[in-house]
Amino acid sequence: MPSITRECPSCGKFYRIDISRDDEVPCRNCGKRNRKIDSDSVTFSRCVICDCGNFYKQKDFNQVLGCFIVLIGAGLMPITYGFSLPVLILIDWFLYRKTDDVIICYRCKSEYRDFSTIPQTITSFDHHTGELYETD
């Protein structure tokens, strides 16, 4: 089911909005109601949350788990004389192939998950564009 994960403007915590719902979605932390988002309004030409026109994609994978896998590989390398590296490369490749993409808005950092059509114009994170939207 398509969903958007976004930061609540009231309490600052993240919550998920399921697109198929018919009513306004309250924040699960503070209860503030936010406007209804219908599936026809999500076209990836503009963010439905902040009206920004720039998105990037990345793999929807837990980055802490990815760092943990790298640390395991670094720890095993002296013991296995590097033979564990091809195994970890295969694990990494398998996880990369099985993990879906998530689309993220540069400005509000809203995450769009499980959408069937993602435009080919959305590319990976660009540091220059990210700096343009960076706030203190």
Residue bearing tokens 């993409």 = 101
Tell whether 90 and 35 lie within a shared domain: no
Instruction: Quote the domain boundaries for residue 83.
Output: 61-99
Mean pLDDT of the 126-133 span: 89
84 or 56, higher pLDDT: 56
Question: Are 8 and 47 contained in the same domain?
Answer: yes
Same domain, 78 and 110: no
Same domain, 20 and 54: yes
What are 83's strand-pairing partners? none
Instruction: Give residue-wise pLDDT tens across range 92-111.
Output: 889 889 998 899 999 888 88
CB 114 within 8 A of CB 92: no
Helix (H/G/I), strand (E/B), else coil: 21: coil
In the predicted model, what is the mean pLDDT of residues 1-30? 75
Whether residues 2 and 31 fall in one domain: yes
Q: Which run of H or E residues covers position 7? A: strand 3-7
The whole-number pLDDT of residue 56 equals: 93
| Same domain flag for 66 and 55 | no
Torsion of CA 16, 113, 94, 122, to 10 degrees: -140
Distances 132 to 37, 56, 107, 127 between C-alpha atoms, Å: 27, 14, 9, 9
Nearest by Cα to 91 from 114, 61, 123: 61
- Identify whether residues 110 and 76 lie together within a single domain: no
The residue-averaged pLDDT of 30-39 equals: 67
pLDDT for 23 beyond 80: no
Whether residues 110 and 67 fall in one domain: no
Pair (32, 6) in one structural domain? yes
Six-digit token string for 125: 């994170």
Q: What total number of domains does the chain contain?
A: 2
Note the pTM of the prediction, 2 decimals. 0.77
